[in-house]
Chain A
Amino acid sequence: MGIEKRNVASTYCELHCVHGTWGTRETSGAGAVAHIQLEGFSHLSEEDIRELERICGPEDVLCSGPLLEDYSHDEMLRVRGVPEAVVFPETTGEVSSILRYASARKIAVTPRGSGTGLCGGAVPVFGGIVLCTTKMNKIIEIDRENLTATVEPGVLLLTLHETVEKLGFLYAPDPGEKTATIGGNINTNAGGMRAIKYGVTRDNVRGLEVVLPSGEILELGGKHAKNSTGYSLMNAFIGSEGTLGVVTRAVLKLLPLPRRTLSLLVPFDSLGEAIRAVPKVLSTGILPQSIEFAERNVIFAAERYLGKKFPHTGAPSYLLIRVDGNSVGEVTSMMEAIGDACLEAGAIDVLIADTQERQKAIWDARGAFLAAIKSGNQVDECDVVVPRDRIAELVEYTKIVSERTGVRIESFGHAGDGNLHIYVIRDSIPDDEWEKRLEKAMDLLYEKGEELGGLVSGEHGIGYAKRKYMLKNLSPGEIAIMRKMKAIFDPQGILNPGKVV
């Protein structure tokens, strides 16, 4: 155990260097801001480990060995903290017992799914226990009459999609990361590529079972299609990034699976033109499933990463549009209306992906954008969301930031809902220069985002890495209420400390 503890301590130092000190965190103004206790967490003793083993079974507790490292970071790799133990509960009862015990002992608990986050939300920056939900991975029920799926939090998004689609249903949220868990999606309020038509995770959750740090189990919402019964506590947990409670079961909304989809790849001479075409597409009265944008560089990166050629690379910028409907005739007439709107808006052409193979060639590449940009490089991201009509300004500004700070910046994202994924890429910049330039670039990007009426995160969450920007972005009054909420659900502050508020 000694070795792991030293790792935890050195991790704090690293975090201080990378992200500034904790001292800045309570400076948001209003005197009434509740102070969140971040001190005095207990380290795990041998006895604690034995108790966790008693609760979950020894095979479901991991407290040493090389595997521990896997739970010390997420996909962005920038935030690090080594857990003292990782537990894999299999039932709500076990989650409840773990949390009750951790509360009594004041041990920090960081909930985690498959660790595909990008802001350090699932990283145990205060050590303690990582509560990993991956063994709670059963699809409990598909209710064909109420159109709901009841699932455990560790079910992977790709498993859920495959399972319900085979039965003729659609679970609409479609974040690029298919190996994410549903629990993680709920906790970050993940959005994804179909949000423009079907909303984000929040719009597709009907009910939750949640365990509070005290061990108390709450049933919130249910299979109802409507609910005006009191405050929506359920919605407080969606997007709370594991700081208020642990989701142990979810009732998700299903839709009839649209029988046909058709995609368009629309090349433009400039990114500005591409983005400015989006409102013209929407004014056709047709709501596409997805409207994404990509620049050629990112497409080239995806080609290299996948070892597959993209159907068209002759233009600097592209829109990727997908419509859905129930017949070939329906999606074809949608295609024609959107195609005409794009041509009017100055598109070079409108390329039609009407078969499965053709659509796959486009969307496989889109799905690989992030991995391709990250591959063999260090990156950090900005997931800012602005009103739809301001997105072109923000994208154009990224070029200015790149010039001003001397870092390469690539972006892609959801042109249809104003949510941009901007990646600042290290390439061969030396260590200290990189941190300096990255911080400068991020500061500029978030400043611009705010100026355009944007919010810090569209779908990846705040986690650890984006706190500083959220505290600036939101009003002190709003932050104060969030902290009071945190104190109500988690009075001791043991649940995912250091995150969000």
Chain B
Amino acid sequence: MKIIVLVKQVPETSEVEIDPVRGTLKREGVLSKTNPYDLHALEAALRLKDEVGGEVTVLSMGPPQAEAVIREAYSMGADSGVLLSDRAFAGADTLATSFTLSRAIQKIGFDLVIAGMQSTDGDTAQVGPGVAELLDIPHVSYVREIQKATPEALTVTCDHGDYFLTIEVRIPCLLTVSRDLNQPRLPSYRKKKLTKDKPVQVWGRKDLTSDDSSEEYFGLDGSPTRVERIFAPERKRVREIWEGTPGDLAGRLYHFLKEARGK
């Protein structure tokens, strides 16, 4: 089975400061790591490879230093890696990112694509499903268990919040996975040394298309989303504790809700 795992480099802590003037995240001097959800995706891929055989390729998009997440995937057992890095890709929203990734996925060739359910910096959870749509393959999001894998189909359970859904999905397909799926293995120092000189393929726009007019699908030009402002949400939580008989409390709650609705 040919498996592609989507990985993203994210800031190491969730406490990234926001530049109040430019409305962007202050990434300078912030250390990076692999998006934690993607490690579960990679773990799932490596286990499937052990089970049914095949090959695991990691695919990332980002600045040149994002090579680190591919190197890390090598030290966990990935067979090959591709980094999509080009100025033309910069400023991509989830649509342009999905487009770029889907182009690369087609070029690599695949049976299965696995991604983390979301990234810890963007939190949109859109890129995985977006890629599946552009590739015109079925996808299952929030996968928490993979029960069965054959070369033709997968049986997976996904977490819909209120309920779990067990689905058989034909291959080729795309999964996005939750943290409940597995405990990712740790990078191996032995493998790290062995893969020290293993190449990481770096592809730019020209590697994905020969059509010059395709520019409008990549990067900022391909992004209908405009971020006007980034801000930390104000955390406002008012807590009141009411005491009284059930009857009194029900009446009070009724009036409270009615009043709140009227506002």
Residues 33-59 of chain B, each 1 if its beta carbon lies under 8 Å from chain A, else 0? 100100000000000000000000000
Min Cβ gap B186→A in Å is 4
Is residue B2 contacting chain A, with contact meaning CB distance below 8 A? no
Is residue A487 contacting chain B, with contact meaning CB distance below 8 A? no
Task: Contact check, A352 vs B190: say whether CB atoms are below 8 A apart.
Answer: no
A248 to B192, CA, bound (A): 52
Is residue A158 contacting chain B, with contact meaning CB distance below 8 A? no
Task: Contact check, A349 vs B183: say whether CB atoms are below 8 A apart.
Answer: no
29 A-B contacts (beta carbon < 8 Å): A265-B186, A309-B182, A309-B183, A311-B185, A312-B185, A312-B186, A328-B31, A335-B189, A339-B189, A343-B189, A343-B190, A349-B189, A349-B190, A349-B191, A350-B188, A350-B189, A351-B185, A351-B188, A351-B189, A352-B75, A352-B186, A352-B188, A353-B186, A354-B33, A355-B36, A356-B12, A357-B36, A358-B186, A361-B183
Is residue B91 contacting chain A, with contact meaning CB distance below 8 A? no
| Residues on B with beta carbons closer than 8 Å to the beta carbon of A361 | 183
| Residues on B with beta carbons closer than 8 Å to the beta carbon of A41 | none
Task: Contact check, B33 vs A308: say whether CB atoms are below 8 A apart.
Answer: no
A473 to B185, CA, bound (A): 45
Interface set, chain B 185-227, CB cutoff 8 A to A: 185-192
| Residues on A with beta carbons closer than 8 Å to the beta carbon of B192 | 352
Total interface residues on A, using CB and 8 Å?
23
| Residues on B with beta carbons closer than 8 Å to the beta carbon of A101 | none
| Residues on A with beta carbons closer than 8 Å to the beta carbon of B186 | 265, 311-312, 351-353, 358
Is residue A310 contacting chain B, with contact meaning CB distance below 8 A? yes
Task: Contact check, A311 vs B183: say whether CB atoms are below 8 A apart.
Answer: yes
Min Cβ gap A281→B in Å is 13
Interface set, chain A 283-325, CB cutoff 8 A to B: 308-312
Nearest A residue to B192 by beta-carbon distance?
A352
A397 to B75, CA, bound (A): 37
Interface of chain A: mostly helix, strand, loop or mixed: mixed
Interface set, chain A 170-223, CB cutoff 8 A to B: none
Min Cβ gap A33→B in Å is 55
Min Cβ gap A357→B in Å is 6
| Residues on A with beta carbons closer than 8 Å to the beta carbon of B191 | 349
Min Cβ gap B33→A in Å is 5
Residues of A within 8 A of B (CB): 264-265, 308-312, 328, 335-336, 339, 343, 349-358, 361
Interchain Cβ contacts within 8 Å, total number:
46
Total interface residues on B, using CB and 8 Å?
16
- Residue in A308, A328, A354 whose beta carbon sits within 8 Å of that of B187 in the complex: A354
Min Cβ gap B146→A in Å is 15
A351 to B72, CA, bound (A): 12
| Residues on B with beta carbons closer than 8 Å to the beta carbon of A354 | 33, 187
Is residue B184 contacting chain A, with contact meaning CB distance below 8 A? yes
| Residues on B with beta carbons closer than 8 Å to the beta carbon of A312 | 185-186
Task: Contact check, A355 vs B189: say whether CB atoms are below 8 A apart.
Answer: no
| Residues on A with beta carbons closer than 8 Å to the beta carbon of B189 | 264, 335-336, 339, 343, 349-352
| Residues on A with beta carbons closer than 8 Å to the beta carbon of B187 | 351-352, 354
| Residues on A with beta carbons closer than 8 Å to the beta carbon of B190 | 343, 349-350
Nearest A residue to B186 by beta-carbon distance?
A351
A328 to B189, CA, bound (A): 16
Nearest B residue to A308 by beta-carbon distance?
B183
Given A309-B182, A349-B189, A353-B186, 11 further pairs, Cβ under 8 A: A311-B185, A311-B186, A312-B186, A339-B189, A343-B189, A349-B191, A350-B188, A350-B190, A352-B188, A355-B33, A358-B186
| Residues on A with beta carbons closer than 8 Å to the beta carbon of B12 | 355-356
Of all A-B residue pairs in the complex, the 8 with the closest CB atoms, nearest first, are A309-B183, A351-B186, A350-B189, A339-B189, A352-B187, A349-B190, A311-B186, A349-B188
Interface set, chain B 7-36, CB cutoff 8 A to A: 12, 31, 33, 36
A343 to B192, CA, bound (A): 13
A310-B188 in contact given A328-B31, A352-B75, A355-B33 (Cβ < 8 Å): no
Task: Give the one of B31, B183, B191, B192 with max A CB within 10 A.
Answer: B183
| Residues on A with beta carbons closer than 8 Å to the beta carbon of B36 | 355, 357
Min Cβ gap B12→A in Å is 7
A311 to B189, CA, bound (A): 15
A265 to B184, CA, bound (A): 14
Nearest B residue to A351 by beta-carbon distance?
B186
| Residues on B with beta carbons closer than 8 Å to the beta carbon of A264 | 189
A335 to B36, CA, bound (A): 22
A314 to B189, CA, bound (A): 16
Min Cβ gap A333→B in Å is 13
A310 to B190, CA, bound (A): 20
Min Cβ gap A364→B in Å is 12
Min Cβ gap A311→B in Å is 5
| Residues on A with beta carbons closer than 8 Å to the beta carbon of B183 | 308-311, 361
A349 to B190, CA, bound (A): 6
Min Cβ gap B4→A in Å is 23
